[in-house]
Amino acid sequence: METKELAEILIDKQKIQLVDGKFTPIEASDVITSLIDEKINFHKIQRLKIWEGNHHGKTNLLDNRIQELELEKQTARDIVNQARSKGKNVTINGILEITLED
């Protein structure tokens, strides 16, 4: 019986088209808010894990990132509201870039 080896393909960098399209303001708001909220929740869970391990653990970086994302969410709301008031749609191009690092 012959054993076949699978060729290992190393990809150092990959892009994934996460969002690509034209949306109504309501749809755009849902898409953007959902994505940002997921990321905020991820950081909140990371912060909670640190706190559970050590109530005096430093969470400054996570706190700052959560604040940045909240500001970005507000910026996105402002853009969507502007589109809504002008009767326009919103195009979203969201690319997730993944890179292997040492």
Residue 7 pLDDT: 57
Domain locations along the chain: 24-99
- List, for residues 44-80, the tens digit of each pLDDT value: 999 999 999 888 889 999 999 999 999 999 999 999 9
CB-based burial label for 10 (10 Å; 0-12, 13-18, 19+): exposed
Q: Quote the pTM value.
A: 0.82
pLDDT of 97 above 60:
yes
The span from the CA of 77 to the CA of 92, in Å, is 13
The span from the CA of 83 to the CA of 73, in Å, is 15
